[in-house]
Amino acid sequence: MGALRPWHIAILVGVLILLFGAKKLPDAARSLGRSMRILKAETKGLTEDGKDKEGLAEKAEAQVTEQKPLADNQASPAPKVDPIQRP
């Protein structure tokens, strides 16, 4: 009980053909396949994007630690001021 038997599937296919017609079912299956491919590509892109962001964060941290401190005789660079803030 609860398991799908072959005759259950046959009845389901028959009902689908009666409801949608034999011409529309292949189109529906094709569009469903395209949608699944797009979904798969997008989820793969999201996981790769997350890995790229982690790699960029690690590179930024490495660059910050590699920067040399200013020598005592060097002046620090002047801070940037927006034209609106100037008197």
Length of the chain: 87
What pTM, to 2 d.p., does this model score?
A: 0.42
Q: What is the pLDDT of residue 34?
A: 95
Compute the distance between CA of residue 67 and CA of residue 69 in angstroms, rounded to an integer. 6
pLDDT given at position 54: 67
Structural contact between residues 27 and 36, judged by C-beta atoms closer than 8 angstroms: no
DSSP label at 49? H
Residue type present at position 26: P
- Give the pLDDT score at 41: 92
Residues of the chain below pLDDT 70: 1, 52-83, 85-87
